[in-house]
Structure 1
Amino acid sequence: MTNTNNFDTIIVGGSYAGLSAAMALGRSLRHVLLIDSGMPCNERTPHSHNFLTQDGKTPKEISMLAKHQVEKYGTVKFYNGIASSGRKSEDGFEITTNAGDKFNAKKLIFATGIKDMIPDIPGFAACWGISIIHCPYCHGYEYRNQNTAIIANGAKAFHLASLVKNLTDNITILTTEGADFNSEQLDKLNTHGIKIIETKISEFEHKNGHLRNIVFDDTTKISFDAAYAAVPFKQHSDMPVSLGCELTEQGYIKVDDFQKTTIPSIYACGDNSNMMRSIANAVYSGNVTGAVVNRELTSEQF
């Protein structure tokens, strides 16, 4: 690619949401540049579930097929690299990559995802996405009827427990500090036989990412097959904020029902702007974003 190119739309992030937006725009003959580094957040997840026609496929299989299909639309171009900075320009936006290449577009779509903040506990990172999981809809069926831990506290732990209870009767909540439940929640957890352990975790014993035991600071260990963990996150890219996009209290990019951010002509889709972390939802939000951007381009040009 040359150092300067003009496009109708630049999409930053080429996973499921970005590819879905690119397909919608490509089918309307919009000139699109999709910038992606090839490092999706679910890279280590063994299989994807709860997505019709793709249930049980690996995330890589799905993304490779998606990219192959989007590549058929000649007005969509791909750039392998990292979008490092962006600025408002006279006609839209200028994006600079880590290689120093500059690209311009009238509209900007962020499909950049989020980055999980993995706790510094031995074994956690190795198990993350395999047997330490975040979502019962994505992974719960595969661990049905298994001995399951929920690493969370308060309302988050209670909510997860209510969902996981339908998948297994063997649930233990690990708060890692003083439990934060009201009397009504405690009564309900007790009624359903859900145990609570407040001791801090010191290690996750595993084999190739498959959980075996959780070891506690008091040296006791308990065998678990899986653990749900509510970990904090941050935006994978700081560019939306640098361009003025507002975040929600939870840390997601603030968008309206049409995936529009608080900055005109900037849109966001996928995990960076929605707490429903699934491939199906990412594809949906990307498709909506592509249609909305095309409609706005049409309104400006027709």
Structure 2
Amino acid sequence: MDKKEFEVIIIGGSYAGLSAAMALGRSLRKTLVIDAGKPCNRQTPHSHNFLTQDGSTPKEISEIAKSQLIAYDSIKFYDGLAVSGKRKNGAFEISTLKGDYFTAKKLIFAAGIKDLLPNIKGFSECWGISVVHCPYCHGYEIRNKKTAIIANGERAFHLASLVNNLTKEIAIITSGAKDFEKEQLEKLKQHKIQIIEKEISSIKHRNGHVEDIVFKDGTTENFECAYAAIPFELNSNIPKELGCNLTEDELIEVNFMQQTTQEGIFACGDNSSMMRSVALAVSSGNIAGAVVNGELTKENF
């Protein structure tokens, strides 16, 4: 790519990043989208809870978005990984793994997060298919099935309360000693939600669809699906390099305008919100793009 200077660089080209690019491209802002092409939902067969695209694959939604963005000459795409960033001469300089450098007045981070999958045989093959993270994104499709909740404490209790409306066969697998308040235990008992204080050895599945969960004590129990609360990390370390504050959940701290704690830097999508969904990513990206355009307008008008 010959062009090196832009008004805005967006790091991450999935739903949030593409939505931000749309707002900027329609305002004729010279925008570069840098994307490594590894979205966290690439294994998920269908996306849901997003008007007009309910049931589409994540790839189909992204391809439609990109085909529409190509119409805007002010938007350019770079296939690669952004690896570092710094402030330089009143702007930001971003370098890539390929050794390329680009500069811009504003940055938008939309690189998302990386799920840290547990070392359980079969887990990764089922992740996003029948072992899922969100009842809103996947719950309807796995309703009325025997369901495991692989979590403990407050997170497990929260998931159980939501999933209870979708199926009546629920068991919480705590992978160790249970960690619930007395009131929570009474509520779980009231709704006949079993608690299994065993560690999981493996998940038996057929093409990513759960059939049995095998425990380290050698016992096996049949399940058809599972919810799991697992740790994650930011896909990009550049926000921390540039001094952006992180939340207690290790996400990029933003205000309601998607502004980070560093002037000129914005964040949207999964790297700045615990509410992981396509619809919310698109919404936050649109806000970020509009606010960035507003700042550039004030600076240039």
* Same topology, TM > 0.5: yes
Report the AA paired with residue 67 of structure 1: K
Q: Which residue of 1 aligns with 2:155?
A: 156
Question: Per the alignment, in what secondary structure is the counterpart of residue 10 of structure 1?
Answer: strand
1:168 matches 2:171: no
1:293 matches 2:292: yes
| Kept in 2: contact 1:175–1:197 (CA 8 A) | yes
Report the AA paired with residue 256 of structure 2: D
Report the AA paired with residue 252 of structure 2: I
Q: Which residue of 1 aligns with 2:254?
A: 255
Separation of aligned partners in 1, 2:299 and 2:59: 37
Separation of aligned partners in 1, 2:79 and 2:142: 36
For 1:1-302, list aligned pairs within 5 A.
1-2=1-2, 5-302=4-301
Question: Per the alignment, in what secondary structure is the counterpart of residue 9 of structure 2?
Answer: strand
Report the AA paired with residue 124 of structure 2: A
| Kept in 2: contact 1:153–1:175 (CA 8 A) | yes
Question: Per the alignment, in what secondary structure is the counterpart of residue 85 of structure 1?
Answer: strand
Q: Render the CA deviation track for 1:166-213: whole Å, top value 9, x for unaligned.
A: 000000000010001111111110000000000111110011111010
Q: Render the CA deviation track for 1:115-141: whole Å, top value 9, x for unaligned.
A: 100001101111100010000000000
Report the AA paired with residue 271 of structure 2: N
Q: Render the CA deviation track for 1:29-69: whole Å, top value 9, x for unaligned.
A: 00000001111110000000000000000000000000111
Separation of aligned partners in 1, 2:4 and 2:199: 53
C-alpha displacement at 1:95, in angstroms? 0.6
C-alpha displacement at 1:91, in angstroms? 2.6
Separation of aligned partners in 2, 1:101 and 1:236: 19
Separation of aligned partners in 2, 1:233 and 1:48: 20
With normalisation by structure 2, the TM-score equals 0.99
Runs of 4+ in 1 over 2 A off after TM superposition: none
Listed as ranges, the gaps of 5+ residues in structure 2 are none
Separation of aligned partners in 2, 1:261 and 1:181: 35
Q: Percent identity?
A: 62
Report the AA paired with residue 152 of structure 2: N
Report the AA paired with residue 135 of structure 1: C
| Kept in 2: contact 1:148–1:225 (CA 8 A) | yes
Separation of aligned partners in 1, 2:293 and 2:81: 25
Question: Per the alignment, in what secondary structure is the counterpart of residue 263 of structure 2?
Answer: coil
| Kept in 2: contact 1:91–1:105 (CA 8 A) | no
C-alpha displacement at 1:92, in angstroms? 1.1
Report the AA paired with residue 198 of structure 2: T
Report the AA paired with residue 6 of structure 1: E
C-alpha displacement at 1:86, in angstroms? 0.7
Aligned-pair Cα RMSD in Å: 0.6
Report the AA paired with residue 193 of structure 1: K
Separation of aligned partners in 1, 2:139 and 2:41: 16
Question: Per the alignment, in what secondary structure is the counterpart of residue 142 of structure 1?
Answer: coil
Report the AA paired with residue 243 of structure 2: G
Report the AA paired with residue 246 of structure 2: L
Report the AA paired with residue 29 of structure 1: L
Separation of aligned partners in 2, 1:159 and 1:29: 44
Question: Per the alignment, in what secondary structure is the counterpart of residue 185 of structure 1?
Answer: helix
C-alpha displacement at 1:5, in angstroms? 1.2
Report the AA paired with residue 174 of structure 1: I
With normalisation by structure 1, the TM-score equals 0.99
Question: Per the alignment, in what secondary structure is the counterpart of residue 72 of structure 2?
Answer: coil
Report the AA paired with residue 165 of structure 1: N
Separation of aligned partners in 1, 2:279 and 2:238: 25
